[in-house]
Amino acid sequence: MTSAPFILYGAPGSGATAVHAAITLMELPVQVVDVAPWQGDHERGRLSAVNPMRQVPVLVLPSGEIMTESAAMLIWLADRYPAAGLAPRTDDPTRGQFLRWMTYVSAAIYALYWVRDEPSRLASNPDAEATILDRTAERIAQCWREMDAQMPRGPRYLLGDRVSVLDLYVAVVSRWQPRRLRFYREAPRMAEVVRRVDAEPRLLDHWAARYPFVPLWESEGP
């Protein structure tokens, strides 16, 4: 176990939440800095020194090295601390699928929230913004549906009988729009898995602090 803490930048419920969950399961020291760049230039400015892209999450390693991109952080952590068993090792038969789906969630689903958070980035008027929000929600639902259809049936988690950072990633991202109730309908196999992740005893305090299950959380929220 490392003695110097990791420093993790990101707001509750953001992509940093999955990274924090992995660090929690690994029992590593971490300092969390709450920053919500989608709330405006002031918040984005707080990130300039650690991430010129002014996005979260940002992970400062004990060495001082800076990482961005949640999928990269999760893969790096799982590989750096293999004793936690949070990813297939490089010689594991499921390693290829692990990398495939980690990349898929990041590129096909997570990336759409760049425009969903601020549709004015691509839209010139309110009607266009509404269209973007509607179409990206449908695209996200489609992506979950297609991923679910290719997940193995039988194992307790997405790639086997042990929780992995892929399960953590899907559990967090599936709580964003179009919300969990839609996710459950589109992805019934993965719905079973994320419910197990939600109920993981080692993460109950983490969820309560960083992404609580408030009333109507499965259908409503920020």
Instruction: Give the pLDDT confidence of 48-57 residue by residue, as tens digits.
Output: 889 888 899 9
Q: How many helices (H) and strands (E) does the chain have?
A: 10, 4
Q: What is the pLDDT of residue 37?
A: 86
Contacts of 9 (CB under 8 A, 6+ apart): 16, 33, 35, 47, 50, 51, 56, 57, 58, 59, 60
Q: Which 8-state DSSP code applies to residue 154?
A: S
How far is CA 38 from its chain centroid? 16
* pLDDT mean across residues, the chain: 95
Of 3 and 91, the structure prediction assigns the larger pLDDT to 91
Q: 118-122, 137-141, 143-147, 196-200 — which is least confidently predicted?
A: 118-122
Structure tokens at 113: 């929230």
Structure tokens at 196: 């197990």
Residue 1 predicted with pLDDT over 70: no
200 in helix, strand or coil?
coil
Residue 161 predicted with pLDDT over 60: yes
- Cα distance from N-terminal residue to C-terminal residue, the chain: 36
Query: For the chain, how long is the longest CA-to-CA vector?
Result: 52
pTM above 0.85, yes or no: yes
Interval 124-153 mean pLDDT: 97
Q: What is the pLDDT of residue 2?
A: 52
Residue with tokens 């309110």: 126
Interval 153-172 mean pLDDT: 97
DSSP code per residue over 25-54: HHT--EEEE---GGG-HHHHHTTTTT-TT-
Residue 65 pLDDT level (bands cut at 50, 70, 90): very high
Interval 91-114 mean pLDDT: 97
- pLDDT tens digit sequence for 180-207: 999 999 999 999 999 999 999 999 999 9
Q: What is the pLDDT of residue 136?
A: 97
